[in-house]
Structures are given as C-alpha cells and as structure tokens.
Amino acid sequence: MRKIFIIIALAIGMLCNTGVTFSAERDAVEYKLKAAYMLNFAKFINWPDVHDGEETFRICVYGKNPFGSALAGAERKKIKGEVIELVLTSDPAELKDCRLAFVSSSEVDRIDTLFETLSGKPIVTVSDIEGFATAGGTIEFVSVGDKLRFVINHTQAKSSNVKITASLLGLAVEVL
C-alpha cells in the first residue's frame, strides 16, 4: 500500500511540474510574440523630430521584465536606421528618452502616476494590463480567443504628438 501511495505521489508531482513547465513555455512564447509585435509597431509609428539626429531608438521596459530573453538580440537590430537601445527601469524619469515603453503588470498600481509623468511626451506606452488603453495607455495587448491582438488608443497617441499609420490602426482589434 505504501508503494502505491509513493507512486501516486510521484505521478502527481510530475504532472504538477509538467503544468508549470507548459505554463512557463507558454509565457515565454507569448512574450517573444509581444516583443516581435513591439518591434514591428515601431515601424508603423512616426515620432516628432525631437529625437532627430540621435543614433539610438530606445525601447524601455518599465517595472519587472516579463520578457526574459525574448528581447535578447534586439540591440543588434535597427528601427528607422537607428540602433535599438534596451532600457530596463523602475524609475519613470528614465522613460523620458524612450520612444516605446512597455509597462509591466508589476506597475499596475502606478500607471496613473506614470501617465501624469509622461503626459504630452512623444512616448508610445504598451502593456498587457487589462484596461490599459482605456486608462490612457497607447497600445494594449489583448487576447481574442487564442490569438494575441491589440487595442490602440489613437486619442492618446495624438495627444503625445505621435502618428500611427493607417496600416497599424487597421490591424487593431479596436481603436479608441
């Protein structure tokens, strides 16, 4: 009887560990996809000339980095002829030179303060926090069925003096 109990306990442990592995793998794939989306968003967004003459295109991750290695190698790529610089920060003041800022779900309680800090600055904020676009973010990742989609707050983009192309707006599941 004791052997059966041990075998059952081991089997349950293995199943639990497998679930964690699948979940971790799913999250890794999800954030690789989100990283790819963000890099592509930048190709369809025009920023004002305040960054003119710079040789770097700053992409920031604000808060806990959910991407893991998904953004690894991004710094070897270029966007609009500029080399990507990746900045990981928990300080909203460090976002002032970023063009694209991913807001981690770890910062959900601080997004109102963040939006106040970034108000009027040409920074596209992106997040997967539920209701992010409605709250004042620029782009929100959403799940539609089993597909990753996004919502664009076009009003917010305009108030930040950022122009999102019609091509990108057309791909959004919703435009606010």
Tens of pLDDT, residues 110-138: 999 999 999 999 999 999 999 999 999 99
The side-by-side arrangement of strands in the sheet containing 78-79 is: 78-79, 82-89, 56-62, 100-103, 124-127, 139-144, 147-152, 174-175
Whether 135 and 157 have beta carbons less than 8 Å apart is answered as no
Q: What is the pLDDT of residues 22-79, one digit of tens each?
A: 445 666 789 999 999 999 999 999 999 755 566 789 999 999 999 988 888 888 888 8
Residue-range definition of the domain harbouring residue 53: 2-175
Burial of 148 (C-beta count, 10 Å sphere; 0-12/13-18/19+): middle
CATH of the domain at 128: 3.40.50.2300
Domain count of the fold of the chain:
1
CA–CA separation, 86 and 76 (whole Å): 10
Q: Which is more confidently placed, 104 or 81? A: 104
- What's the distance, Cα to Cα, between the start and end of the chain in Å? 63
Report the length, in residues, of the chain. 176
Q: What is the pLDDT of residues 129-174, one digit of tens each?
A: 999 999 999 999 999 998 999 999 999 999 999 999 999 999 999 9
Give the per-residue pLDDT at 26: 63
Distance CA(57)–CA(10), nearest Å, equals 50
